[in-house]
Amino acid sequence: MDTILQHGLTGISLGGAYALIAIGYTLVYGILRLINFAHGDIFMMAGYFMIFAFANFPWYIAIILVLIATVILGVAIEKAAYSPLRNAPRMSVMISAIGVSYLLQNLATYLFTALPMSYPEIPGLKKILIIGNLTASLVTFITPIVTIVLSAGLIILINNTKIGMSMRAVSRDYEAAQLMGIKLNTTISFTFAVGSLLAAIGSILYFTDRMMVFPFSGSLPGLKCFVAAVLGGIGSIPGAVIGGFILGIGETILIACGQSTFSDAFTFVLLIIILLFRPTGIFGEKVIDKV
């Protein structure tokens, strides 16, 4: 019983980090109909930012710097690689996203070498807590809480603010939204900023637990989180959160059973199953193609 709870806690914690990244995918897909292949690599870069920020500044300033730098990176990528292709075929934009992902990975290899670098320990986060029979570090306990608070905040933002309304409008029909006086580029930039911010927070939680960063540490989690977003219903924030938790827990259970090779495969088997039985995901709405 205790081991089950223990694994459950680990799974929920991993799922929380996944959820934060999945939200970034879901937001961007909702607005641009683009799988932002570079999102996982933005998350990876946030890991490297932390290593360098931490070496030079006290931890609380380092965290703020990491958040700012990641947001700048995300928005810059949108401006440089996606916005010039606004009217290009969708495949071109996807290829551009792959290109950015490839570039970030190669850049990281070039700048930081392919060897893993150790992630700094933010004071307090690794402190071991014992609650009842459960033993885990603080970060494991706070990850799901942070995830839920942030996603609730985001939902409130989207439903109750002006910029949130612009985001909803653009995701429905960006041409019509433009005609209504919504600034398309500002809205898209804001979406990327939010996605990157959440990815940066996710990276702090994820890498504190993993303790290592290397140039490809964003690629597989990135793919998985996109699957999480599809599972929850692409475009839906609660969907992304729940999808992230399902993946995190499922994966942890498989590792606990000694099937770590298949813990990665699990994600994609899950993807195939969703696509077979419920292509719109848990919270997705059915889209009717106009003919």
* Residues at the interface with another protein (CB under 8 A): 33, 35, 81, 84-85, 88, 91-92, 94-96, 98-100, 102-103, 105-107, 109-111, 113-114, 219-220, 223, 226-227, 230, 261, 264-265, 267-268, 271-272, 275-276, 279, 288-289, 291
Nearer to another protein (CB atom), residue 46 or residue 108? 108
Query: What is the enclosing helix (H) or strand (E) of 248?
Result: helix 237-256
CA distances (Å), origin 19, targets 132, 180, 203: 27, 33, 11
Of 96, 119, 286, the closest CA to residue 214 belongs to: 119
**Beta carbons within 8 Å of 273's beta carbon, 6+ residues apart:** none
CB 123 to another protein: min, Å: 33
- Distance in angstroms (rounded) separating the CA atoms of residues 192 and 228: 18
Q: 48 or 54: whose CB is closer to another protein?
A: 48
Q: What are phi and psi of 60, to 5 degrees?
A: -70, -35
Nearer of residues 54 and 226 to another protein, judged by Cβ: 226
From the CB of 198, what's the least distance to another protein, in Å? 20
Q: How far is the CB of 203 from another protein (least distance, A)?
A: 20
- Smallest gap from residue 107 Cβ to another protein (A): 6
Least Å from the CB of residue 79 to another protein? 12
Quick one: 205 or 230, whose CB is closer to another protein?
A: 230
We find the least distance from the C-beta atom of residue 40 to another protein, in angstroms, to be 11
Q: Are 144 and 12 in contact (CB under 8 A)?
A: yes
| Sign of the CA dihedral with 270 first, then 273, 277, and 278 last | positive
In angstroms, rounded to a whole number, what is the distance separating the alpha carbons of residues 171 and 273? 27
Q: What is the CA radius of gyration of the chain?
A: 19
Query: Residue 54 or residue 174: which is nearer to another protein going by CB?
Result: 174
Task: Compute φ and ψ for 218, nearest 5 degrees.
Answer: -95, -15
Q: Is residue 44 within 8 Å of 66, Cβ to Cβ?
A: no
Complex with another protein: residue 33 or 168, whichever CB lies closer? 33
